[in-house]
């Protein structure tokens, strides 16, 4: 069973920072439940394929040098975790946000992303 800290890191780097579609999909299959729910300001989707489509679409519409990096320490609960991040070119955040995950059986079952205003 993966630790919450590891899942937060993998969600950010292996999925949302990963421009290699095949590697991203392998990570999604390992990290998330079949019925994962992903909620963000653009809406909510359910399932691994839908989450993969959202991640791919985000990365496709941003410059290649944009990357997600941690913007503070992770927060860990018994079955939840949160991680603040920033996104943009190195050393220049274009957007900041926070991911909140719920973990079931060692995998992410819910991912909620909130953006700073």
Q: What percent of the chain has pLDDT over 70?
A: 99
Helices (H), 1-117: 4-10, 21-31, 48-60
Does residue 1 have a pLDDT over 70? no
The string of DSSP letters for 69-90 reads: EE-S--EE-SSEEEEEEEEEST
Question: Domain with 70 in it: what CATH number?
Answer: 3.10.450.50
Could you give the count of Cα atoms lying within 13 Å of 10 in the half-sphere of its Cβ?
20
Predicted model pTM? 0.94
Report strand pairing: 107-115 vs 32-40: parallel
Residues 6+ apart with CB under 8 A from 115: 40, 41, 95, 96, 97
Work out the average pLDDT over 71-83. Answer: 97
* Alpha-carbon distances of 29 from 2, 39, 75, 92, rounded to whole Å: 14, 18, 24, 31
pLDDT tens digits, one per residue of 13-65: 999 999 999 999 999 999 999 999 999 999 999 999 999 999 999 999 999 99
Q: Please tell me the distance from the alpha carbon of residue 11 to that of residue 9, in angstroms, as a whole number.
A: 6
**28 with 103: CB under 8 angstroms?**
no
**67 with 36: CB under 8 angstroms?**
no
**31 with 108: CB under 8 angstroms?**
yes
Domain assignment of residue 106, given as a range: 4-115
pLDDT for residue 2:
72
Number of domains in the chain: 1
Q: What integer best gives the mean pLDDT of the chain?
A: 96
């Amino acid at each position: 069973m993966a630790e919450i800290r590891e899942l937060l890191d993998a969600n950010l780097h292996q999925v949302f920072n990963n421009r290699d579609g095949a590697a991203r999909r392998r990570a999604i299959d390992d990290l998330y439940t079949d019925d994962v729910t992903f909620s963000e300001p653009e809406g909510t989707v359910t399932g691994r394929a839908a989450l993969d489509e959202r991640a791919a679409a985000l990365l496709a519409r941003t410059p290649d040098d944009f990357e997600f990096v941690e913007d503070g320490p992770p927060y860990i609960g018994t079955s939840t975790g949160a991680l603040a991040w920033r996104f943009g070119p190195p050393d220049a955040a274009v957007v900041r946000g926070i991911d909140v995950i719920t973990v079931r059986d060692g995998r992410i079952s819910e991912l909620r992303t909130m953006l700073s205003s």
